[in-house]
Structure 1
């Protein structure tokens, strides 16, 4: 068993030192506040007495030492995966029948109907033009079955989004708790 004292100006710093040296498996045996007058000025220091079982130290060192794999074995596994995928994709492509896609030969009336449908749904003219442009560019991918999904995906890619961030207000608040004795005013705060 290893025992050591950690001293710092704050309790938090002393605990951080202890965890850095002993790890999370350390056991706190005691804490003490020490008054230091060495510089002529009174200063409070926090002292933590901590211990760590040597068996735990040995186990922690074993866990920290990762198993090293040789470069050759890793390369062999990766090449096997790559060639295995290529072989399976080749056999799959031989087995499957060619997929028949029904291209939409979009004429002016179909573009107009799409524009009108989007206007009815309150989509801006700028976004409607982008949708029509994308549909005309990739008309070979669009068929009757996936036309609506394709339009939705185009609209989703046009709409700008950002991550949600919760901003805490720095403003302090004063709250007054009033009530008879024993109803839990202090417990409510804690």
Structure 2
């Protein structure tokens, strides 16, 4: 709750104290109070059709962990218990918790995971500058082909979702891929029966 609060004014401290004192329910997965509920309802009203639900989390790492957990739970409920491998484009950044690092495309971070957490497979992401041995569009096509092959290698029945960071953050400094690349990823997900999750509010 206090992670993004840099102003230590009495107003901020008082608001935080009031919310903590009025927590309706808390467990290892859920923290709920009235202001939290109002914020979720407001965000849902402002969102486009199809995005009427919201879950408030503390930061990007928790958002990624929540996404992985929900993805896995959805697969199990649907009778698709073999789906557990969550690929993502590389490079990318999804957080610092073990689950987030597992889907992040950063070798230095990945080195800390084994044997605690399995590193998830990575595909290439679309680059808009410093494209190695390709022009931008052909490299985007190449990245989509790599993901298609990864899906075949892992087995589409083992993949519950693909996590995408469309606007690069820490890993790429604001990198934006091509529209064709994003459409290709969407098509691959649709063809193979798993959802595409877009992670980052700045997208």
When normalised by structure 2's length, the TM-score is 0.19
Q: Which has the higher helix share?
A: 1
Larger RCO (CA within 8 A; separation ≥ 6):
2
Between Structure 1 and Structure 2, whose CA radius of gyration is higher? Answer: 1
Looking at secondary structure, tell me which structure has more strand per residue: 1
